[in-house]
Structure 1
Amino acid sequence: MTTLDTDTLEMVLATLREYAAKQLSPEYLRDLDARDEFPMDVLRELYDPDKIGLHLIFIPEEYGGLGGGAYDIYRVSELMARIDLGIATGVLATFLGTDPITVGGTEEQKTHWMGRIADEGLLVAYGATEPQAGSDLGTLTTKAEPVIEDGQVVGYKISGRKQWISNGGVAEIYTILASAPGGLSWFVVEKDAPGFVKGKHEDKHGIRASNTSALFLDDVYVTADRLVGGVEGRGLAQAQAVFGYTRLMVAAFGLGGGWAALERAIRYSQTRVQGGGLLSTKQAYTHKLLVPNAVRLEAARAYIEWTAARIDAGEPDLQTEGAIAKYLATESGNKAAEDSIQAHGGYGYTKEYMVEKIKRDVRITCIYEGTSEIMEWTIARDRWQLHLKTRGAYYLDWAKRLDALAASSPAGGAATAALAMRALATLLERSRLDRLTRNQHVLFRLGELIAYAETAAIFAEHAATPSSAMPFTAETRLAMARIHARTAALKIASDGLGWAIGAGQTDPNLASSLGLPAIYAAQAGQIEDMNRVAADLVAAFPAE
């Protein structure tokens, strides 16, 4: 599945683990957090081509990089997030900053800028967000005024303000999105350009080892060859072209952050005695705080790997899949971190225990690169259009494929995932007939339910194939897939029914049409599967 050869990817991951074990101890990371300090020396070592050269994963081979694909970047991103999400964000910022050049630059621009970044290990920042223009890039106000000599555009003067820019105060190269006469366009700006001022480092809730600053541009002059692609008006399309890719990377951050916390809770449960026995032996603990989080995270992983494989195969237009991956992985990671604090009791609420810091860090993954609410809207909008275009057949056809899978491989929950798909199709059609999506909240809740349905389907389809990223057997993954399919089906039917009634739906038999009796019957075996997963989590992560 890896674009890199397997040995190269494993070498990069092993090098990262070794570096983190030696240089990035929990004590050091907590100290960075307390001092709100960006570890420039760490980023320099990570980017040093003669040491780790982590940034080379993102750079195509023809410009001096390793040319890693979506799968490789997901694996590296998850590991970085497991180590420290603040430091991982500094790496993410360079990747985002190079995106406009990678996607839209001329060959000369790619050779020059990507070559410099590869050779010199330069930090990069992505300057899109503004104080009044977050995820809605179409409303930004930064302007790029052409400078004309002898009837030719020789350069641009850029003026405006950018907000919440990762690496904003420490980068050496910036890609800045501004409105030119021909439309939104990306420009390359270097750190010492006259009129370019970096704001103070933001005092953040989490990821305090990352640098986040405002940028102020006052008639910052750039030559015409700094216009990415050489043509005005392509900036928004260039930004949207990589959403599926970049959101997959943030999904991996949520996945890694969630597992970093959950693994600590699993190990803690094997040392803490309560009520005469270890917490790891008590369903009240494992079946509430451990198992559901592990299942959601691994369902998200299956969807991430499925989407990455499609990206690496050259499939275009995967923004919706990227949104689903980001939504479930980051919401699941945030929930896993929250429950890991609970799992540690009072200790988890203290800064001495890493779960407290991880929770503050992972929270940002539900916000940056598109909030969870933007993801819900994106998912619902795109899949709603697909439902209308196919006259309701899209999810019904998927359900048929799951039925066929269940006939040959019944152990992975495909039959229950098919029930989820049919319930979703019924809910979407009822929303169409009764015009329920006039209510914005209904539309957004459909986005959540779609994410659960699709991840249940993909997990069921891929559960029998172990992921190289986690130490779970095929049997454990099959049990997890069954749990997630049951949860998704019940959520879609019960929550969907509630919201449809709340919005005024008119079908008196909707509960039956959604298949609620069959979905309730499919819950048989849930506790047994949770028992299996709880035992396997303890086996996979024994107390240290």
Structure 2
Amino acid sequence: GIDLGIATSLLGVSLGTDPIRVGGTPEQKAKWMGKVAEEGLVVAYAVTEPSAGSDLAHIKTKATPVIEDGRTVAYKISGNKQFITNGSIADLYTVLAVAPGGPSFFVVERGTPGLEPGPHEEKHGIRASNTAPLSLDEVQVPVENLLGGVEGQGLRQAAMVFGYTRVMVASFGLGAGVAALERAIAYGKERFQGGSLLCEKPGWTHKLIVPHAVALEAARAHIEMVAGRLDRGEDGLEVEGAIAKMTATEAGNAAAEAAIQAHGGYGYMHAYEVEKIKRDVRITCIYEGTTEICQRSIAQDRWRHHLMSQGGFYKQRATELEQVEVEAPGCGAALTARAARALAEIMEVSRQRRLTRNQHVLFTLGLLCARVEVAEALARKVASGDPGTSRLAPPVLAAASRVWARRVSQEVTGEGLAVLAGSGALGGQALHSFLELIAIDEIHQGLSGHLEDLDTIAQALFAD
């Protein structure tokens, strides 16, 4: 596979050109994209600052117009950027700065007076990539370098690319997690402990391997769904990209952690590689939108959908999933539908009691929304009969979908009730009535067959 540090450097080039691609005028695209392609320029996306990371609205770098004869002929950019991929080696920078009309992107060439790349940062992981701060001290660029030719378009241009740049980072998390599990699986086939191979011990496989393989397959299904929609020319998928990014990177990070544990003491050694994978994949939960920023984006958008639909958003999805289960029994759609209906009711009580004024509640709902939608993607994938890039046979993938759907249903009810009961919104008879409303008994009955599905997945993963 490709080292995640190298992949990050390539992502940096892609990110750096994105503001030009989505926001540049035809003339700007022809000039700058042509130079990148023909001259092989390294590009950097200079957005993050010491006091402003994922939340771009708080950047402090300023772009001051240079006025001659009553018109703007140039801008002087001053400020500091932090953690810039390719920062000290780039030939070209797309810099986000606050102009009088609002945040705007500017193209800045290496060597422009006042532009000073800092030293390469020593990092926990992705050490093969260059990461450096930038200092801009009255860096003057011609007005033609204002991308789009209009001030105040920077945040919109940045948001336009989140749908797919976050899917790219999601793929990094998926790939790293899979690579870590592959090494743990190979180790489990050869390591004897207590008279038998590790791969023959459900206490090892069902804790350290199978749950993470399932989570990665769920993330894969959602990534493929979003990527397919992007390939078909859809836009406005920023939230779907955030769901993919949050789910896949957290799953990849957890899988790498489990892979170290699965190796025992050897997992801590360089020779077995899983410790490096863990150091590398950790950054995917941070860059291109932290997990928490993704949670906030998901929560705010899905909360808006809940209000606009008068509570029907996830109920409608549940109805559609029930039909999917009719057409493809055992695909996990029915289990997911129960979780979706429970989520709708949890959100409605949260609305009635105004619980989302508490950010923790809002973030919890965002996480649960993501869980349900990822489960939906996996169930629909199984129902379609198209395994996509999964290496699991269809019956095994169906078992994985059921396992994930059960996990989601338990998480939705568990975390959701913790919010409602913990806030005092439900108690006594009201709590009992709510449990009946969300059909908690049916959700618990859905756990039937869980151990058998875990066994099926383990056997497939460790088959010769």
TM-score normalised by length of structure 1? 0.83
Unaligned regions of 5+ residues in structure 2, if any? none
Please give the residue correspondences for 1:109-258 in structure 2 after superposition, counting only pairs within 5 Å.
109-258=28-177
Q: Distance in 2 between the 1:468 and 1:438 partners?
A: 40
In the other structure, the counterpart of 1:480 is 400
Deviations 1:69-118 (A, max 9, x none): xxxxxxxxxxxxx4211111000100110110000000011111111111
In the other structure, the counterpart of 1:529 is 453
Letter paired with 1:461: R
Which one of 266, 278, 286 corresponds to residue 197 of structure 2? Answer: 278
Is residue 377–residue 443 contact of structure 1 (8 Å, CA) maintained in 2?
Answer: yes
Q: 1:510 Cα shift?
A: 2.1
Letter paired with 2:181: L
Please give the residue correspondences for 1:496-515 in structure 2 after superposition, counting only pairs within 5 Å.
496-506=416-426, 507-508=430-431, 509-515=433-439
Deviations 1:113-152 (A, max 9, x none): 1111112221110011111111121111111111122222
In the other structure, the counterpart of 2:188 is 269
Letter paired with 1:496: G
Letter paired with 1:420: A
Letter paired with 2:394: A
Q: 1:468 Cα shift?
A: 4.1
Q: Distance in 2 between the 1:498 and 1:218 partners?
A: 51
Q: Distance in 2 between the 1:440 and 1:273 partners?
A: 48
In the other structure, the counterpart of 1:6 is none
Is residue 200–residue 213 contact of structure 1 (8 Å, CA) maintained in 2?
Answer: yes
Q: Distance in 2 between the 1:181 and 1:401 partners?
A: 48
Q: Distance in 2 between the 1:192 and 1:535 partners?
A: 58
Is the partner of 1:194 in helix, strand or coil? coil
Deviations 1:434-465 (A, max 9, x none): 11112211111111111111111111011243
Deviations 1:329-360 (A, max 9, x none): 00000000000000000000112220001001
Please give the residue correspondences for 1:368-517 in structure 2 after superposition, counting only pairs within 5 Å.
368-464=287-383, 465-506=385-426, 507-508=430-431, 509-517=433-441
Is the partner of 2:124 in helix, strand or coil? coil
Letter paired with 1:445: T
Is the partner of 2:209 in helix, strand or coil? helix
Q: Distance in 1 between the 2:319 and 2:402 partners?
A: 18
Q: Distance in 2 between the 1:467 and 1:112 partners?
A: 42
Q: Distance in 2 between the 1:120 and 1:515 partners?
A: 62
Letter paired with 2:202: Q
Q: Distance in 1 between the 2:8 and 2:146 partners?
A: 26
Letter paired with 2:197: L
Letter paired with 1:105: G
Identity %: 55
Letter paired with 2:390: M
Deviations 1:267-322 (A, max 9, x none): 11001011111111110011111110011011011011111111122222111111
CA RMSD of aligned residues (A): 1.1
The verdict on how the C-alpha distance between 1:345 and 1:248 changes in structure 2, with shifts beyond 3 A counting, is: same
The verdict on how the C-alpha distance between 1:398 and 1:249 changes in structure 2, with shifts beyond 3 A counting, is: same
Letter paired with 1:469: T
In the other structure, the counterpart of 1:344 is 263
Q: Distance in 2 between the 1:522 and 1:294 partners?
A: 21
Q: Distance in 1 between the 2:128 and 2:149 partners?
A: 36
Q: Distance in 2 between the 1:441 and 1:514 partners?
A: 22
Is residue 436–residue 504 contact of structure 1 (8 Å, CA) maintained in 2?
Answer: no
Matched, 1:333 2:252: yes
TM-score normalised by length of structure 2? 0.97
Q: 1:250 Cα shift?
A: 0.7
Letter paired with 1:118: A
Is the partner of 1:463 in helix, strand or coil? helix
Is residue 439–residue 503 contact of structure 1 (8 Å, CA) maintained in 2?
Answer: no
Which one of 273, 281, 290 corresponds to residue 362 of structure 1? Answer: 281
Please give the residue correspondences for 1:2-17 in structure 2 after superposition, counting only pairs within 5 Å.
none
Matched, 1:317 2:236: yes
Deviations 1:7-61 (A, max 9, x none): xxxxxxxxxxxxxxxxxxxxxxxxxxxxxxxxxxxxxxxxxxxxxxxxxxxxxxx
Q: 1:224 Cα shift?
A: 1.1
- Which stretch of the first structure deviates more once superposed, 430-439 or 365-374? 430-439
Q: Distance in 2 between the 1:488 and 1:418 partners?
A: 10
Q: Distance in 2 between the 1:467 and 1:191 partners?
A: 46
Q: Distance in 2 between the 1:195 and 1:144 partners?
A: 13
In the other structure, the counterpart of 1:77 is none
Q: Distance in 2 between the 1:510 and 1:440 partners?
A: 23
Is residue 217–residue 390 contact of structure 2 (8 Å, CA) maintained in 1?
Answer: no
Is residue 208–residue 259 contact of structure 2 (8 Å, CA) maintained in 1?
Answer: yes
Q: Distance in 2 between the 1:271 and 1:512 partners?
A: 49
Q: Distance in 2 between the 1:231 and 1:450 partners?
A: 37
Q: Distance in 2 between the 1:164 and 1:145 partners?
A: 24
Is residue 442–residue 503 contact of structure 1 (8 Å, CA) maintained in 2?
Answer: no
Q: 1:536 Cα shift?
A: 1.0
Is residue 497–residue 511 contact of structure 1 (8 Å, CA) maintained in 2?
Answer: no
Deviations 1:473-516 (A, max 9, x none): 11121111111111101110122112211112133222222222
Matched, 1:519 2:443: yes
Task: Figure out how many residues of one structure are paired with residues of the other and give that number.
Answer: 459
Q: Distance in 2 between the 1:331 and 1:471 partners?
A: 21
Q: Distance in 2 between the 1:502 and 1:334 partners?
A: 29
Q: Distance in 2 between the 1:445 and 1:284 partners?
A: 30
Is the partner of 1:218 in helix, strand or coil? strand
Unaligned regions of 5+ residues in structure 1, if any? 1-81
Is residue 191–residue 197 contact of structure 2 (8 Å, CA) maintained in 1?
Answer: yes
Q: Distance in 1 between the 2:88 and 2:424 partners?
A: 51
Matched, 1:100 2:24: no
Letter paired with 1:493: T
